[in-house]
Amino acid sequence: PEGLRYYVNSCNKETTWRRPSLSAEAPQRPLARPVTSLFKTHNISAHAIKPHVMFRLFYIILFYSRHCCYISVFLLFLLQINCVTFPLPGEGPEQQLLKPEEWSYCDYFWTDKKDPQGTTSVAGFEVLLQKQLKGKQMQKEMSEFIHERIKIEEEYAKNLSKLSLSPLAAQEEGTLGEAWTQLKKSLHDEAEVHLKFSNKLHSEVEKPLLTFRGDNFKKDLKKYDHHIADLRKQLASRYASVEKARKALADRQKDLEVKTQQLEIKLSNKTEEDIKKARRKSTQAGDDLMRCVDLYNQTQSKWFEEMVTTSMELEKLEVERIEWIQQHLRQYTTLRHETDMFNQSTVEPVDQLLQNVDPAKDRELWVKENKTGEVRPVDMDI
């Protein structure tokens, strides 16, 4: 502030002690394009842009002299959707995926999703949370399904057991009677097999599916939800500050311009003093805006980091869930195969005895036990 004033050309970084001529100050940056040309370049109709796209303005005060204030306005065109800042398609360097080839959650849920009516929008993170909740529900429903399966087995076993005690045809005799008795007994064994199957289904499939991730899971999800939502709220409030600071700067800018013009046409002799004041205020407003943008940037960075870590955590949870269910459904098929095998072993003795059924032997036995006399009649003697 005490030394000699020197000038910096922000475009080519040249410095000079002498105030550059006006023509040298003409904005050379291609960024300083009129807004409408950008709309055209990106094929955006101004109408479509209304609620969600805004433009960040960076006012950088290059230098000012006694009578004029030269302000270079840099327009940085960015897409702002629900207070999150995105590069405008085609502008800036291409972004690389964080985890290419993996279809990772952390790469695909940055934008908010509009519902079909277009009235409300859901944060990308919310979509991930909904997937988790749905997964939990599916796991619960699978457990319910297995429960129904178990009930069928139990009822079937009960029916078999009951039938095996039936007195029907209990008096069949011989080898056929033995086979019949075995057949009835096999129903009882089979019932045991089904009962065992249903017990194992309960302890090895239904219960694990039901208890996998207890009530704490939903609490954990809520924690994640609140954490990320809080960061978004912070971001929105920082965004509002930026907007406010931007407007304040624009007002200061306009004020300064008016006063500069007033001086030029010598409306008042107080203007020089006013201009100094206005200049100071304008610089301050510029600083304010920078500070607000900086805070906004910091919050957005924090949100970004938390989104990456948390979405990868959710991704891990989903892999675990799928593998857990896969493992227990495999257990179901294993038990089912086992049941078939045991089931078969209960009918094997019946088959054996059926093979042994021998009408001749049965006749022999029966005759032996029930014969009423083997002495045949003879002719009458005269």
Ligand X SMILES: *[C@@H]1O[C@H](CO)[C@@H](O)[C@H](O)[C@H]1NC(C)=O
**Residue 297 in contact with ligand X, rule: CB under 6 A:** yes
Residue 305 CA to residue 359 CA, distance in Å, equals 85
Other Cβ atoms less than 10 A from the Cβ of 309: the count is 10
Q: Is 293 in the site for ligand X (CB under 6 A)?
A: yes
Nearest approach, Cβ of 34 to ligand X (angstroms)? 23
Number of residues that bind ligand X (CB under 6 A): 16
- For residues 149 and 321, which CB has a smaller minimum distance to ligand X in the complex? 149
We find the least distance from the C-beta atom of residue 370 to ligand X, in angstroms, to be 4
The pairing of strands 121-122 and 113-114 is antiparallel
The continuous run of DSSP H or E covering 211 comes out as helix 207-211
Which of 102, 141, 148, 155 lies at the binding interface for ligand X (CB under 6 A)?
Answer: 155
Q: CB of residue 214 vs ligand X: minimum separation in angstroms?
A: 32
Among residue numbers 65 through 124, which ones bind ligand X (CB under 6 A)? none
Handedness of CA 324, 327, 333, 337 (dihedral sign): negative
Q: Judged by CB under 6 A, does residue 379 bind ligand X?
A: no
Among 269, 333, 372, 373, binds ligand X (CB under 6 A): 269
Residue 152 binds ligand X, judged by CB under 6 A:
yes
Task: Tell me: does residue 327 bind ligand X (CB under 6 A).
Answer: no
Going by C-alpha positions, the residue among 139, 132, 121 that lies closest to residue 221 is 132
Among 81, 308, 347, 354, binds ligand X (CB under 6 A): 347
Helix (H) or strand (E) segment spanning residue 190: helix 174-201
Any residues with CB less than 8 A from the CB of 141 and at least 6 apart, and which?
A: none
Report the residue from 55, 70, 110, 156 that binds ligand X according to the rule CB under 6 A.
156
At its nearest, how many Å lie between ligand X and the CB of residue 246? 12
Contact characters 214-253, ligand X, x per CB under 6 A: ----------------------------------------
CB of residue 58 to ligand X, shortest distance in Å: 8
Q: Which of 102, 340, 358, 364 binds ligand X (CB under 6 A)?
A: 340
CB of 137 to ligand X, least distance (A): 28
3-class secondary structure, 7: strand
Annotate 264-296 with b (16+ C-beta within 10 A) or e (fewer): eeeeeeebeebbeebbebbbebbebbbebbeeb
Closer of 5 and 361 to ligand X (Cβ): 361
Q: Among the candidate windows 203-211, 236-244, 326-334, 338-346, which touches ligand X by CB under 6 A?
A: 338-346
Q: Between residues 120 and 203, which has the closer beta carbon with respect to ligand X?
A: 203
Task: Choose between 310 and 339: whose C-beta lies nearer to ligand X.
Answer: 339
Start-to-end Cα distance in the chain? 167
Specify the residue for token string 């007002």. Answer: 251
Site string for ligand X, 176-205 (x = CB under 6 A): --------------x---------------
Which span sits near ligand X by CB under 6 A: 27-35, 155-163, 204-212, 217-225? 155-163
How far apart are the C-alpha atoms of 358 and 248, rounded to whole Å? 109
Cα 36 to Cα 322: distance, rounded to the nearest angstrom: 51
* Beta carbons of 201 and 150 less than 8 angstroms apart: yes
Angle value at C-alpha 70, between 2 and 240, nearest 5 degrees: 95
- Cβ(7)–Cβ(19) under 8 Å? yes
Query: What gap in Å lies between CA 53 and CA 43, rounded to an integer?
Result: 14
Contact status: 370 vs ligand X (CB under 6 A): yes
Residues that bind ligand X (CB under 6 A): 152, 155-156, 159, 190, 269, 290, 293-294, 297, 339-340, 343, 347, 369-370
